[in-house]
Amino acid sequence: MTLPLPSYFTDFLKDIRPTPAQRADMINGHSKLKERLESDTELKTGFVGMFLQGSYKRRTAVRPKDGKRADVDLIVVTRMKESEFKPAQAMACFKPFLEKHYKGKYRQQGRSFGIEMSNVEMDLVITAAPVEAEAGVYSSLSESVDDLRLDEDETQPLVKTASDGTPLWKTEPLRIPDRELGTWQDTHPLVQLSWTSQKNARCSGHYVNVVKALKWWRLVHASELPDRPKSYPLEHLIGDCCPDGISFVAEGVVRTLEQFSQRYAFHAACNQVPYSPDRGVDQNVMARIDGKDFAKFHGQVVAAAKTARKAFEAPDAQTAAPLWRELFGDKFPRAPDSGGGSSTKGGFTSHQGGPGVVGSGRFA
């Protein structure tokens, strides 16, 4: 093998990432939301800090498809106490603010508020620090607009370190109000960020790109798949199935699909959903997924794994590229009609733009 990754995947990944304009919309949207919250005289005294979460922050976001908006999550850590606020009461505290700034553009969800703007969709997530000692730690997480623009450099760490050198994922979980269940529950977004960062390092910088590729596969084949799993539950399952030590994205895609097929075969046969605890807390991220839907999804993964294996082992680009395009649609480059040098594993050949390496120990 002469190349660790074909230029086809380099170009494919470039074309499924959010565009610079979409990134700018996300930054402007949540920066304005944060600025308005910090200026609200009724709310700001109860804030500990704010920080980003979600696929945008974890660097696993893909370009919105079919007119959908880019999305970003903003977590607000408050000083609310469970003994004083029921979940519905906690969320009601933010409604005057939302009516003032986002009237007709927001909706109340089970554990957050969704805000729909023209080019971006935001989730406003309200949480509480479980103990006062954590307040100082979470207050250090707030980021300036300059910090957020620096985050476009994917070599930067996902999780900051406290002033004493302690990793922030070692803090206590936050508490989040679940309006539908009527209870406060644990959530630990910092562990999600830390886990993703460590996993990506164990995969030589390729893990986040495997996630992007498989999220895109799901978007391309949305009409053939059940509505769930998607979003973070899908990313979580990819993380559980993607093996450490992968050398390039194509390998990660194949081995993740095959591991998913094997690992969940029994669950699918029984129309059961696997129990998959969230990073850092004992909450099942698959709790809202139907067993029959999971079985149908598993069947599609099995088929995709077979196609990916054929593409991966194809002798040349002319054979491999159509198979990858069967999985990933027209964002994956076509192979030239003829000519060009060839290698092994999925048609590792040159094409316009030249060979490229995605990752090389960094996010790409």
Which candidate in 25, 71, 278, 316 is catalytic? 71
Could you give the CA distance from residue 45 to residue 67 in angstroms, rounded to a whole number? 38
Residue entry with tokens 């390496």 = 357
Q: Can 40 be counted among the known catalytic residues?
A: no
Residues with Cβ within 8 Å of residue 145, at least 6 apart in sequence: 27, 31
Could you give the CA distance from residue 154 to residue 142 in angstroms, rounded to a whole number? 19
Residues 350, 340 contacting (CB under 8 angstroms): yes
Which candidate in 11, 25, 123, 278 is catalytic? 123
Q: Read out DSSP for 12-62?
A: HHHHHSPPHHHHHHHHHHHHHHHHHHHH-TTTGGGEEEEEEESHHHHT---
Distance linking the first and last C-alpha atoms of the chain: 22
Residues 347, 325 contacting (CB under 8 angstroms): no
Q: Read out DSSP for 217-245?
A: HHHHTGGGS-S-S-HHHHHHHHHHHSPTT
Q: Can 244 be counted among the known catalytic residues?
A: no
Q: What DSSP state is assigned to residue 274?
A: P
Residue entry with tokens 């077979």 = 306
Q: Which of 185, 190, 174 is nearest to 287 (CA)?
A: 185
Residue entry with tokens 């960062």 = 197
Residue entry with tokens 């798949």 = 225
Q: How many CB atoms lie within 10 A of CB 191?
A: 20
3-state SS, 160-217, equals: CECCCCCEHHHCCCEEEEECCCCEEEEECHHHHHHHHHHHHHHCCCCHHHHHHHHHHH
In the numeric block, which tokens belong to residue 132?
Answer: 């006062």
Residues 142, 51 contacting (CB under 8 angstroms): yes
Q: Which residues pair with 121 in a beta bridge?
A: 71, 116
Q: Catalytic site residues?
A: 71, 73, 123
